[in-house]
Amino acid sequence: MNLTGWIERDGVRLSPTDVERMLSEEPEALTRCGGEFLLTYGDCTARDAFGIMPGPVPPGTICCGGREVARVAPDPAPCTLEEAIVTAVSLRSDEGVVAFSGGVDSALVARLARLPCVAVGLRGSHDVRRAAAAARMMGLDLEIVTPTEDEVAETLARVVRAIPDPTNPLEASIATTLSFVAAWAEERGHTRILAGQGADELFGGYARYLASPDLAAELERDLADHGRQRARDQAVAALHGAYFSMPYLDVRVVRAAQGIPAREKVRGGVRKHPLREIAERHIPAEIARAEKKAMQYGSGIWRAIQRLARDNGYKKSVQGYLTEISRAEHDY
């Protein structure tokens, strides 16, 4: 048996020995297990329900001998959204670090997890200032990574070899930012990075949701498309022997969030309203209520990539610059 990640059953984490015993005595119980895992045993491979952990089989499947034999569909007891978030973070907090930006998503996870935190941003960037201020207010153990432009260029070259859509400027800038987080975790011997991915799609965090003609449908489409983002993020983490753990994509949290009407998620010009209400009970209200820039902009990484493109003769096309890098890296 080989287990990457972690498995839980009914809110209880299972050790590798527990998993081996379960597979021996009650193998069908695996279909009811949650967690973030890729599990191989005999000629079988199983992957967690949402496909958080990358693997060669579809998300939420158990495949034996090259064919699907069962689905992984955990069904935990119903709970409130707050209970779901607290449980999801607790299950992931025995090891690892938190990718921290000072926004409500990562701040709530950081408060509940009580793990070391890391923020990324060029010196003087919005995210550096915000993360430092939020960490002081919350008493968090925070380290800030401030890459130079040369380091951004080096990391970008590695990232475009790994991500599924390397010439997409948005994808490349996000992946580059996350790569610095994963590198920091690797240097300190951690493999698990708790992050806030999924909160925007579940609770209505993107600015475009404010003007959405059909918010419920748009949230549903965006959550369904989140697998593409996860593939990008995990590809970057894998470069550093790590993975991103996503408590907001725990089955309990997803179920509770989907039970909230879309009109309650974005109202009165406030995005992620239900999450902010819960966060206020755990973190300072000014952090819970504040809006935040997307990581690639707040960190300054996007502007650094734009400057690199201009310096290399691509004054109007970051995509052209990325295409050149991607082509050079693959030729190499």
Given a cut of 90, is residue 254 above it in pLDDT? yes
Question: Contact 91/186 with Cβ under 8 angstroms?
Answer: no
Question: Contact 5/35 with Cβ under 8 angstroms?
Answer: yes
Distance in angstroms (rounded) separating the CA atoms of residues 196 and 97: 12
Provide the pLDDT for residue 317: 86
Global confidence as pTM? 0.94
Q: Which CATH superfamily is domain 81-298 in?
A: HUPs (3.40.50.620)
What would the pLDDT profile of 148-185 be if each residue is shown by its tens digit? 999 999 999 999 999 999 899 999 999 999 999 999 99
Given a cut of 90, is residue 133 above it in pLDDT? yes
How far apart, in Å, are the Cα atoms of 166 and each of 120, 177, 208, 294, 319?
21, 14, 24, 19, 9
One-character DSSP codes across 287-300? HHH-----HHHHTS
3 strand-pairing partners: 39
Q: Where do the domains of the chain lie? A: 2-71, 81-298
Given a cut of 50, is residue 332 above it in pLDDT? no
- Residue closest to 308 by CA, chosen among 329, 294, 324: 324
Alpha helices in 164-214 (DSSP H): 169-187, 199-203
What would the pLDDT profile of 266-314 be if each residue is shown by its tens digit? 999 999 999 999 999 999 999 999 988 888 888 999 999 999 999 999 9
Contacts of 115 (CB under 8 A, 6+ apart): 93, 96, 97, 98, 141, 194
What would the pLDDT profile of 53-103 be if each residue is shown by its tens digit? 999 999 999 999 999 999 999 999 999 999 999 999 999 999 999 999 999
Average pLDDT, stretch 210-229?
94
pLDDT averaged over every residue in the chain: 94
Given a cut of 60, is residue 202 above it in pLDDT? yes
